[in-house]
Structure 1
Amino acid sequence: MSNFDNENEAIADKEDKEVALAMQTPDVEDDPKAMQNDVAAVEYSPVAFALLFVGLALAVLLAALDQTILSVAIPAIVTDFQNFSSMSWIITGYLLTATAFIPTYGKAADIFGRKSTILVAIVIFEVGSAICGAATSMNMLIVGRAVAGLGGGGILSLVITIISDIVPLQKRALYQGVIVAVFGLASVAGPLLGGVFTDHINWRWCFYINLPLGGVAIVAVVLLLRLPPGTTSDISKSVKRMDYLGTFLLVLGIVFVLLALSEGGNEFAWDSGFVLGFLFAGVVVLVIFVLVEWKVAVEPVIPLSLFRNRYVAIVFFCSFFNGMSFMPLVNYTPTYFEVVNGDSPVGAGIDTIPLVLALMFSSLFAGVFITATQRYYPLVICGAVFQAVGGGLMYTMNADSNSGQKIGYLILAGIGLGFTLQSLTIAAQAASSDEDLSLVTSNNNFWQQVGGVLGVAIASSVYSTRLTSSLAVLAPNASVDYVKNNPSALRVAPASVIPPDEMGGVIDSYVQGLSYIFLLVVPFAGVLLIGSLFVKRAKLTKPVEMGVA
């Protein structure tokens, strides 16, 4: 999630603003907070501000759409590239780089300035999108997704920071509401738009659509955004403080673990040297990462000092498992409707609307509830319960489930996700000190994203293993390779690869595989529920930065 930084206020009178923009205090480069507090509010004409805000909103829409538009296109992509085993990397490749580099973008914005940094982020995202659209293999697509994530992770956080710079404190809630609306629009429109592209043009347009939108955002930022250039008086000193080693070790360790999870049960047995070796290597690298963050890094990617506050640590724990529930549900529910119910991509997008609408409106309700009552922890507990119940009921779905069942189950799961997305952000902030507010907020988002990455990897592995074992029993004469690599073409398969009398067994095997993804939500949400019992229970006593899902 992205969050508004409520620490910035206009400090110069109208006649002093131009002077304030041109000057920096001598010690600003050593104190980013000092730089933030020294930024004068730039005065825009109503038209210029409206155009700039539309450009920034388009940048947010880019990254938000990218998280939902692909969910209905995954079966078609797998069919085109005939590569089932790498399916999860379409999602995790983006999330991994987007998550790992969020702290780096924050530091880069202080050093080089917001304008230069967000332009770099948008351009990187555009390059990644172009690579994905032109991909000739699954590996090329995954590389493009990783490049796009490298830019996308920066876009979300930088837009919020820029809005904090140009909008007075008293009016930020209004513009935060607009950003929430943009995310809501992306949540609903993403699966539908992805379905239209996949059905009527080509899944590649799920990526090509980013190019014109990003172009408009770049023009708006270049022509209209006016902010100080950054702390350029001693760039070399500031750059050296960035935690490159920690970022590298974090990404490498997670990649090793993901390789083991994605290949286990597919290309290699779970007890094979490949799987066990990469799991071991991943754990070792992550242990080294922790040691580097503790003993070496000047400004670590993950400040371990935050974990001294047990209430902050328990919220990070809860957010991790919340991400493990969130990402598999959002990304694999459309696949279920396409493969099991035979929906077109557009139809799968429509069938997924109850989940995303429930998520969006329950998130907004959570904000209203917290504002009215100043209490957040009941929503954490209720959210975990709704997730577990919704996931458990979705596990019972099959090809014969009626519309009422499907809609009701998705609504319950969506309510649970919406409650926890907002309330956990507030819980983290309520447990933190004032000086750590922004740091705790960004790290809470970090742990949720990491949980999402691992949740998708685990869910994909269970899905694949269960599908393969079910096919051996329910459709023994069907070609396993064809069934797994052609999820969008099962019902038109030649009789030589799927005998007509075994088509029902193939569909039931997919039900077995995909339903276990929903079943995994139950233990993930159960651990979240246990953790939520230890969340700090107190009324809010200070302003908070509301999150955007």
Structure 2
Amino acid sequence: MSSSHPDVKTPLPAQTTIEHSQKQQQKQFDVSSSNTSLSEKTQQGESGIDGGQDQFQEAEETVDVKGEPIRDLDHPEADSSTPAPMFHKPPPRQFLLIMIALALCVFLASLDQIIVSTSTPAITREYNSLNDIAWLGTAYMMTSTAFQPLYGKISDIFGRKTTVLFANTVFLVGSAISGWANSMIMLIVGRAVAGIGAGGLMAMVFIIMSDMLDMRERGKYIGMVSGIFSLSSVIGPLLGGAFTDHVTWRWSFWINLPIGAISTAFIAFNLDLPTPKGSFSEKIRRVDFYGSFLLLSSVMLLLLPLSWGGNKYAWNSGIVIGLLIAGFAVAILFVLVEWKIPNEPILPIHLFKIRNIKATYGSVFFGGMAFFGIIYYLPIYFQVILGESATIGGLETVPFVVGIVISSVGSGIWVLKKGTYAFFPAIGNFVFMGATSLCLLFKEDTSRVVTVFVLMLCGLGIGSTYQAYTVSVQAAVKPKYMATVTASIQFVRSLGQVFGIAIVGSVFNNKLEESLLSAFPLSPGRAILKVMQDYSIIKTYAVAEQAVIYASFVKGINYAFYCSIAFCGFSFLMACGIEHKELKTNADMHGKREIAVDMA
């Protein structure tokens, strides 16, 4: 007698087994499809070809056969309910100390680049080495520019804190060598060592801020730091002159030691960012030594002739042309090596398939050329044409810095509130181009009101681009490339500044020389050209001749401004190619898995 309900059919054992097997296979197929979809999405973001929202590539959670979420093997601590934060902003007091330290890093690195300019006459007299004086700037410029792009990947491998402390230490060692130098050779070596550290400081400041602050908030702070960079460019010559006149030129380097010590201490005791795992030997094996060597070699080979051309050697001399050809050849070899050989290249070539990377780097490069075309020749206008002292001439550029601070901070606040940024580079370069065109109005009798207005307008234009450039490249890539593209943007800007100095300087010198020789055709032995090296000689000429000389200088400066206008135009055109990408925050990641890999 059966106790089963007559309407209920009892399945056969074989039928039960088959149905259970089919259900298991269907669940496994669903999991496999979901994992495959996730892998495909991750690989699509890895390629970065479309330049889309690679930084925060999202995918739906997968589940196991029990219906539970699968945990991320690379991030076992993360799940859908408690996503790992993308940005690690410390408590307010700790954050304030870190920002002070980072601001001091930028201040020192940019100050040391220009403070020596007013100390060179005293250094020359002490060491009686006029022929080597150019190396004081060249040694620092070459090493700081060449090492900048290396710090991004090094910080991915060894950690942000270790890398920035290393850069700070190297910078202070170089400053100490320079301050206590007992020969010109020792001073040049010290400058080169300091440059290695300074390149790291400039790169690491923006990388660390990007780790702490989400993409909408960081623009405000990047603007502040950019203002400090511009401020130090103005007060550098003033401090250098004051130290030289009232104490000793050695204080131009010694001043770095106490300030750098404060910065190092604040970072050592307050900065706490995730550190990549692995032993020291494992991390060393990850370093791209081939790419590093080729990059350093190419930059050195390019910067040397750009520094010597028109000064130590003629631009058409064999050594200048040969070094330029060698530099470009090694640069091409670097690209081929980075494309094919290393597992973790310093600069992944596939990133340049992304639209915002190409457009931003191009705009930054030409913008750097335009910036130094202005900042180098405005002091000549104030000191030579208007006859002001070096101190007053430096103070005359304060409106330029004020404009940069206002627009860089203001644009950063806009990004924080609105989340949009793509239009700032185009608008900023357009304003800068227009303001640079107004610089052509500067004559011997131009009023102070006009110069203040024009210089502030220049600053407003260029300042609005700083934070937008950084945010643009960071929003276009995945987090593991963030340090690389951030360090590279500083490198591209520095490289543009070097090219700008060389090109604009050559144009200025040629036009000034041509104008002077045309105005004084009977000058014995081209003696009139001495005014190009020593402006004080101008006062020894008759009043009528002085007017002609000043007119020649105005013509040369105008051609320098023409170059900057052209560079602004190219920068504007490149900036028009920057497209908007959504700026994600930690809040946007709530309830979603973080797909991004570690810093490495």
Query: TM class, shorter-chain normalised?
Result: 0.7 to 0.9
Residues 467 and 259 (structure 1), Cα distance of their counterparts in 2 relative to 1, 3 Å cut: farther
* Structure ID, larger Rg: 2
Listed as ranges, the matches of 1:438-453 within 5 Å are 438-453=483-498
Whether 2:383 is the aligned partner of 1:338: answer yes
Alignment correspondent of 2:505: 460
Partner AA of 1:351 in structure 2: E
Residues 78 and 473 (structure 1), Cα distance of their counterparts in 2 relative to 1, 3 Å cut: farther
State the Cα distance separating 1:307 from its structure 2 match: 0.8
Listed as ranges, the matches of 1:54-93 within 5 Å are 54-67=100-113, 69=115, 93=139
State the Cα distance separating 1:158 from its structure 2 match: 3.5
Residues 408 and 169 (structure 1), Cα distance of their counterparts in 2 relative to 1, 3 Å cut: closer
Task: Select 1:486's aligned residue among 500, 509, 534.
Answer: 534
Partner AA of 1:534 in structure 2: G
Task: Select 1:145's aligned residue among 180, 191, 199.
Answer: 191
State the Cα distance separating 1:163 from its structure 2 match: 6.2
State the Cα distance separating 1:357 from its structure 2 match: 0.9
Residues 500 and 105 (structure 1), Cα distance of their counterparts in 2 relative to 1, 3 Å cut: same
Tell me if the contact between 2:129 and 2:184 (Cα under 8 Å) persists in the aligned partners.
yes
Partner AA of 2:582 in structure 1: L
Residue ranges of structure 1 left out of the alignment (5+ in a row): 1-5, 8-25, 29-36, 545-549
Q: Secondary structure at the match of 2:445?
A: coil
Alignment correspondent of 2:464: 419
Q: Secondary structure at the match of 1:266?
A: coil
Alignment correspondent of 2:411: 366
State the Cα distance separating 1:351 from its structure 2 match: 0.2
Partner AA of 1:249 in structure 2: L
Partner AA of 1:516 in structure 2: Y
Listed as ranges, the matches of 1:379-390 within 5 Å are 379-390=424-435
1:90-121: CA deviation from partner (whole Å, max 9, x where unpaired): 55543442233234334444554544433332
CA distance in 2, matches of 1:148, 1:395: 37
Whether 2:442 is the aligned partner of 1:400: answer no
Range moving further from structure 2, 64-73 or 287-296? 64-73
CA distance in 2, matches of 1:127, 1:86: 22
Alignment correspondent of 1:540: 582
Residues 470 and 83 (structure 1), Cα distance of their counterparts in 2 relative to 1, 3 Å cut: farther
State the Cα distance separating 1:177 from its structure 2 match: 7.5
Residues 45 and 320 (structure 1), Cα distance of their counterparts in 2 relative to 1, 3 Å cut: closer
Q: Quote the sequence identity (%).
A: 37
CA distance in 1, matches of 2:381, 2:328: 33
Task: Select 1:350's aligned residue among 388, 395, 398.
Answer: 395
State the Cα distance separating 1:366 from its structure 2 match: 1.6
State the Cα distance separating 1:461 from its structure 2 match: 2.6
State the Cα distance separating 1:305 from its structure 2 match: 1.0
State the Cα distance separating 1:184 from its structure 2 match: 6.3
Tell me if the contact between 1:388 and 1:526 (Cα under 8 Å) persists in the aligned partners.
yes
State the Cα distance separating 1:293 from its structure 2 match: 1.4
* Residue-pair matches, total: 506
Whether 2:566 is the aligned partner of 1:520: answer no
State the Cα distance separating 1:236 from its structure 2 match: 2.3
Alignment correspondent of 2:355: 310
CA distance in 2, matches of 1:396, 1:200: 37
Tell me if the contact between 1:100 and 1:247 (Cα under 8 Å) persists in the aligned partners.
no
CA distance in 2, matches of 1:416, 1:348: 22
Alignment correspondent of 2:339: 294
State the Cα distance separating 1:387 from its structure 2 match: 1.9
Residues 266 and 113 (structure 1), Cα distance of their counterparts in 2 relative to 1, 3 Å cut: closer
State the Cα distance separating 1:245 from its structure 2 match: 2.8
CA distance in 2, matches of 1:176, 1:397: 32
1:226-281: CA deviation from partner (whole Å, max 9, x where unpaired): 75895574322321322233233223223333333333333433333222222222
Range moving further from structure 2, 113-122 or 451-460? 113-122
Alignment correspondent of 2:63: none
State the Cα distance separating 1:141 from its structure 2 match: 5.4
1:148-174: CA deviation from partner (whole Å, max 9, x where unpaired): 221012224435555677889999788
State the Cα distance separating 1:504 from its structure 2 match: 4.4
Residues 49 and 277 (structure 1), Cα distance of their counterparts in 2 relative to 1, 3 Å cut: closer
Task: Select 2:474's aligned residue among 417, 429, 452.
Answer: 429
Range moving further from structure 2, 346-355 or 118-127? 118-127
State the Cα distance separating 1:534 from its structure 2 match: 2.2
Alignment correspondent of 1:97: 143
Listed as ranges, the matches of 1:159-308 within 5 Å are 159=205, 179=225, 182-183=228-229, 186=232, 189-198=235-244, 200-201=246-247, 203-221=249-267, 224-225=269-270, 227=272, 233-308=278-353
Residues 73 and 390 (structure 1), Cα distance of their counterparts in 2 relative to 1, 3 Å cut: farther
Whether 2:516 is the aligned partner of 1:471: answer yes
State the Cα distance separating 1:399 from its structure 2 match: 3.0
Residues 368 and 97 (structure 1), Cα distance of their counterparts in 2 relative to 1, 3 Å cut: same
Tell me if the contact between 1:390 and 1:409 (Cα under 8 Å) persists in the aligned partners.
yes
Alignment correspondent of 1:319: 364
Q: What TM-score results when the alignment is normalised by the length of structure 2?
A: 0.71
Range moving further from structure 2, 291-300 or 261-270? 261-270
State the Cα distance separating 1:532 from its structure 2 match: 2.3
Tell me if the contact between 2:223 and 2:409 (Cα under 8 Å) persists in the aligned partners.
no
State the Cα distance separating 1:418 from its structure 2 match: 0.8
State the Cα distance separating 1:125 from its structure 2 match: 1.1
Range moving further from structure 2, 279-288 or 78-87? 78-87
Alignment correspondent of 2:79: none
Residues 85 and 323 (structure 1), Cα distance of their counterparts in 2 relative to 1, 3 Å cut: farther
Residue ranges of structure 2 left out of the alignment (5+ in a row): 1-54, 57-72, 76-83, 587-600
Tell me if the contact between 1:98 and 1:149 (Cα under 8 Å) persists in the aligned partners.
yes
CA distance in 2, matches of 1:70, 1:121: 20
Range moving further from structure 2, 100-109 or 318-327? 100-109
**What value does the CA root-mean-square deviation take over the aligned residues?**
4.2
Partner AA of 2:173 in structure 1: V
